[in-house]
Structure 1
Amino acid sequence: MKRAAVILSSALLQSGCGGVQSALNAQGPSSAALKALIIVIVAVCVVVWIAVMIVLVAALLRRRDARAVPDHVLHRPVMAAVAATVVVVAALTVVSFQATRRLAPDENAAVTIRVRAQQWWWQFDYEDADPARAFRTANEIHIPVGKTVRVTLESADVIHSFWVPSLAGKQDLIPGRHNVLTFRADRPGIYRGQCAEFCGLQHAHMAFLVIAEEPEAYDRWVQVQRAGAVEPENPEASAGKTVFMTRQCAACHTIRGTQATGTTGPDLTHVGGRRTIAAGLLDNTRGSIAAWIADPQTLKPGNNMPLVPLPAEELRQVSAYMEGLK
């Protein structure tokens, strides 16, 4: 346990999930429409607040006895305020409707991804007309810059919410229902996404990354993802593969091209090429992988990965194997 604690402390020092996460850093048409809506609403609220403050100060400074003022004169400001409220609310409703139209599904999307949310990680299936060209990954998606991406959303357990503030608005993932969201990235970058609906103990640790890259780079990434797992290049990693296949790991995880075909946990075929592990909890380093395997419940209490006791040597071997799956 002392060794696990040392590894855990080292991993936590390295932890973090990079990427931009701000609705004001709009990098696509959907997020730009929502940003404009935010600015309009804030501006209108500021003007209304200033107007109310002016009227309040004027009323406080007024010396005249209100009882001497005719009723119809007193009613004029009230009627004006009611009329102004109706106009403002109606205008904001129209503006909001126009903004949300930009989030409507696009059937002509270049990329279609089926997103399945689980407590507390994300499964991403890249769909294709040819099933042999489809593939699965987890907690990190790549998209081509300038191309519309269509995501179909579903949940395996409770209500979650898919939100990439820099690229699109929120959309819920509801058990038994399929929702759809489309978005586009206009420039390359790493954008952080997050579950935006409280979904349990580790809701705050349910993040993912969207990597927007030029179409050529995206195509290269897709070719790598469609291939099976690479074979270990050194004896330590080869021994780690043996440990993985003979322990409980292979019953919960899939590594394409091997005998591991479990579906309970994330697909690990190319886990070594991802930037983070545990849904954005830790940077993807060998130390972090070892810490996660050694004691996942300390790092992320309540998650569904059981503790698999491994001797120190086997822990090193498995972490070497995981690191090499790129």
Structure 2
Amino acid sequence: MRRSLFLIILAVLSGCAGRHNWLASAGEEAHRVEELFWVLLVGAAIIWTGVIGAAVYAQRRQIDPSLEKQARRFIVWGGAVLPTVLVGGLLIWGLVILRDITSDEGDLTIRVDGERWWWRVIYETPEGDVVTANEIRLPVGQTALFRLTADDVIHSFWVPALGGKMDMIPGRETQLALTPRKTGNWGGLCAEFCGGAHALMRFDAIVMEEADFEAWLAHEAEPAEVAESDPGYTVFDEEGCGACHTIRGTEAEGPVGPDLTHLAAREKLGAGIYEMTPDNMARWITDTHEMKPDIDMPPYPDLSGARLDQLVAFLMSLD
């Protein structure tokens, strides 16, 4: 019994640390949800103690007909009026939080489209849209308004340390506001089962100082620096990669897969799964479905030797 209790406590506490931490909040919205959670937990404990205590007291006390009126009063006030007031108050509080996190205003607007099984990310700026994928960067202290859609099936956008989750529904746009309060790299994920690679549909949510974010966004908006004589780009073009992927500044304008313009500047590969290293990049090209089952990108097992090395070097230069 003690061992089982210890394992249960350990499993619960495992959610209190790490990149997907949902109890030590790093965002304004997550902090408010955390407050609501603790109030509900303490309130539930008090109510449970009161109910069990009343039951034990009633069981041990002898029946006294003269106390029937008091018992009825206790049932009405303790069993109906008080719970109604408490639940109503908590409902109103929860609706206020929901109103705030679904606000239609923010300091910046980011469109996120959930696809199987990756994230298309578009920053709306006065100069035009800035497109990236599988990584979201945010300025600390500013409210980001996310406009969420889905391309195929229902997904759910969730960064536990920054705020609540929001479903992404095909043919419909939902909204979520997040205001990060701490810099750092926080884990994001899809919280709605969406098919075979659902558990591998993640992303990094990187919170930066405002000046660093502005510099990053300005760089992200620039086209890639690619020499047409680059042998790696030649391999990229000959293998038909540009039919699915876009590299701004080149003839590759494929709308199907993730934008690769600044691929190597991202910290992760494969929608938040693998570190961005040359070895992982080579494996991703040749053993795609081994690294992430069920995705649409076909593997290129026959690509090897110098041609593979040149393609990997080219892709790792896109920073």
User: When the two structures are superposed, what TM-score results if normalisation uses the length of structure 2?
Assistant: 0.87
Unaligned segments of structure 2, at least 5 residues: 1-16
Q: Distance in 1 between matches of 2:18 and 2:203?
A: 10
Find the partner of 1:128 among 125, 130, 138: 125
Cα-to-partner distance string for 1:275-315 (whole Å, 9 max, x where unaligned): 11111111111111111111111111111111223123322
Aligned counterparts of 1:69 and 1:285: Cα–Cα separation in 2: 80
DSSP 3-state at the match of 1:127? strand
Structure 2 partner of 1:261: 253
1:148 aligns with 2:146: no
Structure 2 CA distance for partners of 1:269 and 1:48, relative to 1, 3 Å: same
Equivalent position of 1:82 in the other structure: 80
Check whether the contact 2:226–2:249 (CA below 8 A) recurs between aligned residues: no
Q: Distance in 2 between matches of 1:255 and 1:268?
A: 5
Is 2:237 aligned against 1:245? yes
Structure 1 residue 40 corresponds to structure 2 residue 35 = no
8 Å contact from structure 1 (residues 119, 157) kept in 2: yes
Residues 1:115 and 1:136: Cα distance change in structure 2 (over 3 Å)? same
Which structure is richer in relative contact order (CA contacts within 8 A, separation 6 or more)?
1
2:225 is aligned with what amino acid?
V
Task: Name the structure 2 match of 1:289.
Answer: 281
Alignment of 1:198 with 2:197, yes or no, is no
CA contact (8 A) 2:155 2:191 kept: yes
Contact 1:33 1:102 in 2 (8 A): no
The aligned counterpart of 2:262 is: 270
Q: Tell me, what secondary structure is at the counterpart of 1:94?
A: helix
The aligned counterpart of 1:316 is 309
Q: 1:179 aligns with which of 165, 174, 181?
A: 174
> 1:299 maps to what in 2?
291
How many Å apart are 1:76 and its aligned residue?
Answer: 4.0
Amino acid at match of 2:240: Q
2: distance between equivalents of 1:48 and 1:312? 68
CA distance in structure 1 between the partners assigned to 2:266 and 2:55 by the alignment: 57
Q: Does the CA contact (< 8 Å) of 1:207 and 1:280 recur in 2?
A: yes
SS in 1 for 2:160: coil
Specify which of 106, 112, 120 is matched with residue 115 of structure 1: 112
Counterpart of 1:29 in structure 2 is 28
Q: Deviations over 1:188-207 (max 9, x none)?
A: 11111111111111111111
Seen in structure 2, the aligned counterparts of structure 1 residues 255 and 73 have a Cα distance that, compared at 3 Å, is: same
Task: Kindly tell me the number of residue pairs found equivalent between the two proteins.
Answer: 301
C-alpha separation in 1, matches of 2:154 and 2:192: 7
The CA deviation at 1:84 is 2.5
Contact persistence 1:19–1:190 (CA under 8 A): no
Report the CA distance between 1:71 and its aligned residue.
5.1
